[in-house]
Amino acid sequence: MPGGGALTAKLHGAVVRWFAAEARDLPWRHPECSPWGVLVSEVMLQQTPVVRVLPVWSAWMERWPKPGDLAAEPSGEAVRAWGRLGYPRRALRLHAAATVIATAHDGELPDSEDGLLALPGVGGYTAAAVAAFAFGRRASVVDTNIRRVHARLIRGEALPAPALTAAERRLAETLLPDDDETSVRWNAGVMELGAMVCTARAPKCLICPVADACAWRAAGEPPPSYVPKGQAWHGTDRQVRGAVMAVLRGASHPVPRVVLEGPAMAVAERESTNPELARLHTLAPAPEQLERCIAGLLADGLAVELPAGLSLPH
């Protein structure tokens, strides 16, 4: 833990000044960005890099600048616009939240953590982040980047625990500045520091604004106590689900199961009508895997089955 109020204040000052000078120019950080825009960004950024989110967020906000605009369209359009961001259930959650905001809150996001938590699909992290970054509230925001900075800076550990712990939550609350404005900038600054400097694999300690106070550096930069496991992709259900979803997003009509199950038309014709079919067939999933993935998409509400075939939800 920091050695008293003076050291904590020094950390606050160093990180806030660094953020003011070095922060990336991201559209959801602009003063004119609406709370809705901040919510959309936070949901999209979960487990997804900024570079992939930027074009999708921009297109989303141009099409649906207010929650009511999204709520007025079928949930399948949110899934279609989600594109290849991954974890498309997030699109359904945003559509559900937009519907509640439009119908129960006159189109305006609740401005408190409790109010945000009551929205469909909004968890503790997202509620705290939107309260802080959209409404300037003092809220303890704890994402992967913040956890890593806290682990190194305060606890002297190379990486945080594999899952968020109660001790980490308490530490984040203890480090949070007392006043609203500084707390918001501290949250944003620590998050940016973890994303750009205090990275998981190659931390740039020589340009870190708080390197002189870092417990991990003082301890000789000990290695992590565990090896993070990356998520497999090739050949997994996630890959096949994603390929099926890509077919449905690109289709203007329901897609019969027989078309998903195998090359039901010439390659040239198939690629001219929906090139994603060729990609799905190239994966050549076993029939039981494809059936399992389709069943999962139907159960998750990401697809519906009509007499003519599968499509995005209406």
Catalytic positions, please? 42
3-state secondary structure string across 96-147: HHHHHHHHHCCCCCCCCHHHHHCCCCCCHHHHHHHHHHHHCCCCCCCCHHHH
* Contact present, 114 and 107 (Cβ < 8 Å): no
Find all residues with CB under 8 Å of 201, minimum gap 6, and list them.
none
Residue 309 belongs to what H/E stretch? strand 309-311
Phi, psi of 200 (to 5 degrees): -65, -45
Distances (CA, A) of 156 to 15, 40, 136, 256: 18, 34, 30, 56
Token readout for 151 is: 């682990």
Find all residues with CB under 8 Å of 221, minimum gap 6, and list them.
158
CA atoms within 13 A on the CB side of 236: 7
Phi, psi of 82 (to 5 degrees): -65, -25
Token readout for 300 is: 């998750």
Distances (CA, A) of 94 to 70, 233, 239: 9, 25, 23
Strands 309-311, 304-306: pairing is: antiparallel
